[in-house]
Protein backbone atom coordinates (compact mmCIF):
# COMPACT_ATOMS: atom_id res chain seq x y z
CA UNK A 1 0.00 0.00 0.00
CA UNK A 2 1.40 3.44 -0.93
CA UNK A 3 2.20 6.26 1.48
CA UNK A 4 0.07 9.35 2.09
CA UNK A 5 -3.11 8.02 3.67
CA UNK A 6 -4.72 10.11 6.38
CA UNK A 7 -6.17 9.43 9.80
CA UNK A 8 -8.80 11.91 10.92
CA UNK A 9 -9.29 13.05 14.47
CA UNK A 10 -11.93 10.80 16.12
CA UNK A 11 -11.17 7.85 13.82
CA UNK A 12 -11.12 4.56 15.72
CA UNK A 13 -8.20 2.14 15.31
CA UNK A 14 -8.86 -1.54 16.11
CA UNK A 15 -6.61 -4.57 16.09
CA UNK A 16 -7.74 -8.19 15.86
CA UNK A 17 -6.32 -11.48 17.16
CA UNK A 18 -3.20 -11.26 14.98
CA UNK A 19 -2.98 -7.48 14.88
CA UNK A 20 -0.71 -4.89 16.43
CA UNK A 21 0.25 -1.40 15.35
CA UNK A 22 2.62 1.42 16.29
CA UNK A 23 1.67 5.04 15.68
CA UNK A 24 4.17 7.90 15.81
CA UNK A 25 2.91 11.48 16.00
CA UNK A 26 4.65 14.59 14.79
CA UNK A 27 5.60 15.68 18.33
CA UNK A 28 7.36 12.35 18.90
CA UNK A 29 4.62 10.68 20.94
CA UNK A 30 4.32 6.98 20.13
CA UNK A 31 1.35 4.67 20.72
CA UNK A 32 1.57 0.89 20.39
CA UNK A 33 -1.52 -1.31 20.41
CA UNK A 34 -1.53 -5.02 21.11
CA UNK A 35 -4.01 -7.57 19.82
CA UNK A 36 -7.76 -7.04 20.38
CA UNK A 37 -7.25 -3.33 21.16
CA UNK A 38 -9.32 -0.23 20.37
CA UNK A 39 -7.92 3.32 20.29
CA UNK A 40 -9.13 6.77 19.23
CA UNK A 41 -7.80 10.33 19.16
CA UNK A 42 -10.50 12.71 20.52
CA UNK A 43 -8.08 15.64 20.42
CA UNK A 44 -4.58 16.34 19.13
CA UNK A 45 -2.80 19.58 18.30
CA UNK A 46 0.91 20.31 18.29
CA UNK A 47 2.66 23.62 17.78
CA UNK A 48 5.94 24.16 19.61
CA UNK A 49 5.40 27.94 19.56
CA UNK A 50 1.76 27.96 20.63
CA UNK A 51 -0.44 25.83 22.86
CA UNK A 52 -0.28 22.07 22.31
CA UNK A 53 -2.63 19.40 23.62
CA UNK A 54 -3.44 15.73 23.27
CA UNK A 55 -6.23 13.45 24.42
CA UNK A 56 -5.88 9.77 23.65
CA UNK A 57 -8.60 7.22 24.38
CA UNK A 58 -8.25 3.46 24.87
CA UNK A 59 -11.46 1.46 25.27
CA UNK A 60 -10.11 -2.09 24.98
CA UNK A 61 -6.87 -4.03 25.04
CA UNK A 62 -3.19 -3.47 25.73
CA UNK A 63 -1.35 -0.22 25.02
CA UNK A 64 2.07 1.37 25.41
CA UNK A 65 2.42 5.16 25.25
CA UNK A 66 5.67 7.13 25.23
CA UNK A 67 5.02 10.85 25.41
CA UNK A 68 6.82 13.29 23.12
CA UNK A 69 7.15 17.07 23.07
CA UNK A 70 3.57 17.74 24.19
CA UNK A 71 4.29 15.78 27.35
CA UNK A 72 7.28 18.05 27.98
CA UNK A 73 5.82 21.41 26.91
CA UNK A 74 2.22 21.01 28.12
CA UNK A 75 2.01 17.96 30.41
CA UNK A 76 -1.18 19.27 32.01
CA UNK A 77 -2.85 19.13 28.60
CA UNK A 78 -1.88 15.54 27.83
CA UNK A 79 -4.59 13.13 28.97
CA UNK A 80 -5.18 9.43 28.44
CA UNK A 81 -8.72 8.14 28.95
CA UNK A 82 -9.46 4.51 29.83
CA UNK A 83 -12.69 2.67 30.59
CA UNK A 84 -12.50 3.32 34.33
CA UNK A 85 -9.95 6.08 34.83
CA UNK A 86 -8.01 8.99 33.34
CA UNK A 87 -4.22 9.28 33.29
CA UNK A 88 -2.42 12.57 33.69
CA UNK A 89 1.25 12.50 32.71
CA UNK A 90 4.50 14.24 33.52
CA UNK A 91 6.76 13.16 30.66
CA UNK A 92 6.68 9.40 30.76
CA UNK A 93 6.15 5.93 29.33
CA UNK A 94 2.95 4.10 30.28
CA UNK A 95 2.03 0.44 29.85
CA UNK A 96 -1.52 -0.70 30.47
CA UNK A 97 -4.61 -2.68 29.66
CA UNK A 98 -8.23 -1.54 29.74
CA UNK A 99 -11.55 -3.37 29.73
CA UNK A 100 -15.04 -3.00 31.17
CA UNK A 101 -13.96 -5.14 34.16
CA UNK A 102 -10.86 -3.17 35.16
CA UNK A 103 -7.95 -0.99 34.07
CA UNK A 104 -4.34 -1.92 34.79
CA UNK A 105 -1.84 0.94 34.53
CA UNK A 106 1.93 0.71 34.98
CA UNK A 107 4.36 3.65 34.95
CA UNK A 108 7.50 2.62 33.10
CA UNK A 109 9.31 5.95 33.27
CA UNK A 110 8.65 9.38 34.77
CA UNK A 111 5.48 9.85 36.83
CA UNK A 112 1.71 9.73 36.28
CA UNK A 113 -1.53 10.35 38.13
CA UNK A 114 -4.37 7.87 37.70
CA UNK A 115 -7.75 9.23 38.73
CA UNK A 116 -11.52 8.94 38.52
CA UNK A 117 -14.48 10.29 40.48
CA UNK A 118 -13.72 7.95 43.38
CA UNK A 119 -10.10 9.00 43.92
CA UNK A 120 -6.57 9.19 42.53
CA UNK A 121 -3.06 7.80 43.00
CA UNK A 122 0.37 8.98 41.91
CA UNK A 123 2.66 6.40 40.32
CA UNK A 124 6.42 6.55 39.89
CA UNK A 125 8.53 4.41 37.56
CA UNK A 126 8.13 0.74 38.42
CA UNK A 127 4.73 1.15 40.09
CA UNK A 128 1.26 0.13 38.93
CA UNK A 129 -2.40 0.31 39.94
CA UNK A 130 -5.70 -1.37 39.14
CA UNK A 131 -9.00 0.48 38.69
CA UNK A 132 -12.32 -1.35 38.81
CA UNK A 133 -15.69 0.18 37.85
CA UNK A 134 -16.99 2.68 40.42
CA UNK A 135 -13.89 2.15 42.58
CA UNK A 136 -10.90 4.33 43.37
CA UNK A 137 -7.52 3.30 41.94
CA UNK A 138 -5.74 0.77 44.14
CA UNK A 139 -2.69 1.78 46.16
CA UNK A 140 0.56 1.84 44.15
CA UNK A 141 2.26 -1.55 43.92
CA UNK A 142 5.52 -2.72 42.43
CA UNK A 143 4.95 -3.89 38.85
CA UNK A 144 5.92 -7.54 38.66
CA UNK A 145 7.92 -9.12 35.88
CA UNK A 146 4.97 -11.44 35.27
CA UNK A 147 2.45 -8.59 34.88
CA UNK A 148 4.72 -6.74 32.48
CA UNK A 149 5.57 -9.87 30.50
CA UNK A 150 1.94 -10.80 29.93
CA UNK A 151 1.18 -7.35 28.53
CA UNK A 152 4.31 -7.12 26.39
CA UNK A 153 3.46 -10.46 24.75
CA UNK A 154 0.49 -8.72 23.17
CA UNK A 155 2.87 -6.60 21.06
CA UNK A 156 4.70 -9.56 19.50
CA UNK A 157 3.21 -8.95 16.02
CA UNK A 158 4.68 -5.42 16.10
CA UNK A 159 8.12 -6.70 17.02
CA UNK A 160 7.88 -9.22 14.16
CA UNK A 161 6.25 -6.92 11.63
CA UNK A 162 7.92 -8.45 8.58
CA UNK A 163 6.24 -11.79 9.13
CA UNK A 164 2.99 -10.68 10.74
CA UNK A 165 2.06 -7.51 8.90
CA UNK A 166 2.63 -5.04 11.72
CA UNK A 167 2.28 -1.40 10.71
CA UNK A 168 4.01 1.87 11.51
CA UNK A 169 1.95 5.05 11.44
CA UNK A 170 3.32 8.59 11.55
CA UNK A 171 1.03 11.27 12.96
CA UNK A 172 0.46 14.78 11.70
CA UNK A 173 -0.46 18.04 13.42
CA UNK A 174 -4.01 18.80 14.58
CA UNK A 175 -6.96 16.98 13.01
CA UNK A 176 -5.20 14.78 10.47
CA UNK A 177 -2.40 12.25 10.45
CA UNK A 178 -0.38 11.09 7.47
CA UNK A 179 0.24 7.37 7.39
CA UNK A 180 3.71 6.47 6.19
CA UNK A 181 5.69 3.27 5.69
CA UNK A 182 2.61 1.12 6.14
CA UNK A 183 2.17 -2.46 5.05
CA UNK A 184 -1.15 -3.60 6.45
CA UNK A 185 -3.54 -0.74 7.14
CA UNK A 186 -6.67 0.76 5.64
CA UNK A 187 -8.46 4.06 6.23
CA UNK A 188 -12.17 4.81 6.27
CA UNK A 189 -13.46 8.28 7.09
CA UNK A 190 -17.25 7.78 7.15
CA UNK A 191 -17.19 4.03 6.63
CA UNK A 192 -15.22 1.05 7.83
CA UNK A 193 -12.18 -0.19 5.93
CA UNK A 194 -9.99 -3.14 6.73
CA UNK A 195 -6.89 -4.84 5.40
CA UNK A 196 -5.40 -7.84 7.16
CA UNK A 197 -5.67 -7.46 10.93
CA UNK A 198 -5.98 -3.65 11.31
CA UNK A 199 -9.28 -1.77 11.11
CA UNK A 200 -9.80 2.01 11.08
CA UNK A 201 -13.30 3.39 11.08
Rounded distance, CA 35 to CA 15, Å? 5
Q: Domain of 141? A: 5-200
Pick the closest to residue 66 from 25, 36, 97, 114 (CA basis): 25
pTM of the model: 0.79
- For the chain, the domain total comes to 1
Confidence of residue 163 (pLDDT cuts 50, 70, 90): very low
Q: Is the pLDDT of residue 47 over 70?
A: yes
Using the 8-state DSSP alphabet, how is residue 146 labeled? H
Q: Is the pLDDT of residue 82 over 50?
A: yes
Please classify residue 14 by burial: count the beta carbons closer than 10 Å to its beta carbon, then call 0-12 exposed, 13-18 middle and 19+ buried. buried
Please classify residue 76 by burial: count the beta carbons closer than 10 Å to its beta carbon, then call 0-12 exposed, 13-18 middle and 19+ buried. exposed
Using the 8-state DSSP alphabet, how is residue 10 labeled? T
Q: How many of the other CB atoms lie within 10 Å of CB of 171?
A: 25
The residue ranking higher by pLDDT, 46 or 159, is 46
**CATH for 17:** 2.60.120.1440
Amino acid sequence: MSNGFEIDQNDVVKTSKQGSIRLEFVDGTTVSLGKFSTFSIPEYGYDAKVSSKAQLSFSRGVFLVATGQIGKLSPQKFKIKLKNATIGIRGTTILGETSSKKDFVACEDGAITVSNKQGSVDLLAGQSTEVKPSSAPSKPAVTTVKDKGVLMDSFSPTRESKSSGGSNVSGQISNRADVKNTTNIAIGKDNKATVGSIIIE
